[in-house]
Amino acid sequence: MIVLNNPNIHLFRYCPHCGRKNLAVSDKKSFLCGSCNFKFYLNTAAAGIALIFNKNNEILITERKYNPAKGLLDFPGGFVDPGESIDKCQIREVKEELNLDISSLDYFCSVPNTYTYKEVTYSITDFAFICGVNDFRPIKARDDISKFYFIKPAKLDKNRFGLDSPKIIIDRLREE
Ligand SMILES: [Zn+2]
User: 32 and 58, same structural domain?
Assistant: no
* CA-based nearest residue to 50, from 148, 176, 155, 157: 148
d(CA 111, CA 7): 18
Residue 166, domain extent: 45-175
Which pTM value belongs to this model? 0.88
CATH of the domain at 133: 3.90.79.10
- Please give the pLDDT value at position 1: 43
- Please give the pLDDT value at position 67: 80
User: 154 and 69, same structural domain?
Assistant: yes
User: 71 and 18, same structural domain?
Assistant: no
Over residues 23-41, the pLDDT tens digits come to 999 998 999 999 999 999 9
User: 87 and 52, same structural domain?
Assistant: yes
Helices and strands (H, E) in the chain, number of each type: 2, 10
Distance 14 CA to ligand 1 centre (A): 8
Distance 124 CA to ligand 1 centre (A): 26
In a domain, 2, yes or no: no
Beta carbons within 10 angstroms of residue 173's beta carbon = 19
**Stretches in the chain below the pLDDT threshold 70:** 1-4
- Please give the pLDDT value at position 40: 95
